[in-house]
Amino acid sequence: MPTGALTGTIRVPGDKSISHRSIMLGALALGETRVTGLLEGEDVMSTAAAMRAMGAKIEKTDDGEWIINGVGVGGLLQPETALDMGNSGTSTRLLMGLVASHGITATFVGDASLSKRPMGRVIDPLSTMGADFTSTEGRLPLTMRGASPAVPITYRLPMASAQVKSAVLLAGLNTPGITTVIEPVPTRDHSERMLRGFGANLTVEVDEEGTRTIQIHGPAELKGQTIVVPGDPSSAAFFIVAALTVPGSDVLIENVGLNPTRAGIVTVLRQMGGSIEEVNPREVGGEPVADLRVRHSQLHGIEVDPDIVPSMVDEFPVLFVAAAQAKGRTVTKGLEELRVKESDRITVMRVALELAGANVQETEDGLIIEGTGGAPLPGTSGAIHVATHLDHRIAMSMAIAGLNSMNGVAIDDTSPIATSFPNFEALLASLVAG
């Protein structure tokens, strides 16, 4: 039977994208970088281990602050063993960018999910810059030999990917000359903001069509910074949907990062009729932040504007859960990038939601969902068992779907949740207990 209302106040962990970049840029800067609010999930810890293996000193103090002593741009050391990227696409692609312009050789390995994901998208531009790769069909495990000096390029992104953009910009840090990335569709801009914050000479121009031209002048000198990491909107999204869909809920989620290149989920859920109020808007670490008061609302289906997709690319699994509870039809399009995440998030969510009793149709690039209008998902007979395919966002989304399901939802493996949100289950339990 459905769980009772969710009530109370929570604070989600630090933003994953900003946490990765804090470690990487701190490890390349001269002097000390101090980070508070770092996400201590497995993905970020993979980045930290790799940066240590390439010479940086990274420590956590007793009061929870992280202190990084960098090697200076150009100073990365050759790692003695393979860099284990675990489940993390961001670690892999951004670190490949860093290694590309250092005269070192590194081998990247990862788990079964990461080893299926395409790396050709970074191998292509980084090869043009002079790096050399050995891999089977552009997948992990792969070995790369960086170029010193690398050559600057002008690269037009063939897909909307902040990871590819960031890989080229990070390679540009130690490349003499101007490295240019042309971005026709805007994606999360944390790399640009943080590279500037650390002292890189980086410019962004936007033309009338919205195409962004980002230039970085190398070699750059980065200086250690003090960083406060805001809460992760991608993590907050699970609790926003939970509070909107479980009757009687009223939840305050504190300290949520609302960078416009990340906050698409809030816009879309409001278009669906969701009550999400921004309380105490402010700036944390150069990013807009607010506390979000979220109250149960009768959602209605919408056609999601494909232009908003990059600003909520990781939030579609949980948006599908919201759509399954809404009144009427929700149509999503332009989600082809979801097929190359930790799992094929279009097919895996279609299968999982169908098992939970939702009415879902899969298209080439999205899902069409006919919602229940708020009634609990009927499920099949008994508790359903969802296959999560080593994908944290599937596990957490289906846990939220289970809150409003007649027969409950069982997940085959909750361990991937620790990659991005180690205390997810504890926070959920605290809200259910009120």
- Chain contacts with ligand PEP (rule: CB under 6 A): 43, 88-90, 314, 341-342, 393, 420
Q: Which residues of 326-336 are buried (b: 16+ CB within 10 A; e: fewer)?
A: bbebbebbbbe
21/286 Cα distance (integer angstroms): 14
- Residue 162 touches which of ligand PEP, ligand S3P, none (Cβ within 5-8 Å per kind): ligand S3P
Greatest CA separation found in the chain?
Answer: 63
Task: Give the one residue of 6, 12, 13, 17 binding ligand S3P; rule: CB under 6 A.
Answer: 17
Closest CB 243 distance from ligand PEP, rounded Å: 21
The residue behind tokens 């043009």 is: 128
Query: Which tokens go with 296?
Result: 């149960």
Asked if 163 is part of the footprint of ligand S3P (rule: CB under 6 A), the reply reads yes
Nearer to ligand S3P, 167 or 326 (CB): 167
Q: Is 223 annotated as a binding residue?
A: no
- Kindly tell me which of 234 and 245 has the beta carbon lying closer to ligand S3P: 234
64 CB-near residues (< 8 Å, 6+ apart)? 36
CB of 393 to ligand PEP, least distance (A): 5
Please tell me the distance from the alpha carbon of residue 216 to that of residue 52, in angstroms, as a whole number.
25
- Of 58 and 168, nearer to ligand S3P (C-beta) is 168
Has 21 been labeled as part of a binding site? yes
Which residue is closest to ligand PEP by CB?
Answer: 89
Residue list 173-192, contact with ligand S3P (CB under 6 A): 188
Tell me if residue 365 is catalytic.
Answer: no
**Rg of the chain (C-alpha set):** 21
Pairing outcome for strands 7-11 and 275-284: unpaired
Given 43, 232, 314, 391, the catalytic residue: 314
49, 54, 68 from 57: Cα distances, Å: 10, 9, 6
Task: Report the alpha-carbon distance of residue 296 to residue 276 in Å, rounded.
Answer: 9
Beta pairing partners, 327: 300
- 163 is known to lie in a ligand binding site: yes
* Shortest separation between residue 279's beta carbon and ligand PEP, angstroms: 26
**DSSP 3-state of 62:** coil
In the list ligand PEP, ligand S3P, none, the entry touching 166 (Cβ below 5 to 8 angstroms by class) is ligand S3P
Separation of alpha carbons 392 and 388, rounded Å: 7
Which residues define the annotated binding site? Answer: 16-17, 21, 89, 117, 161, 163, 314, 341, 345, 393
Could you list the residues known to form a binding site for 3-phosphoshikimate, using ranges: 16-17, 21, 161, 163, 314, 341
Kindly list the catalytic residues.
314
Question: Where do contacts with ligand S3P occur on this chain (CB under 6 A)?
Answer: 17, 89-90, 161-163, 166, 188, 313-314, 337
Binding residues for phosphoenolpyruvate, by number, are: 16, 89, 117, 163, 345, 393
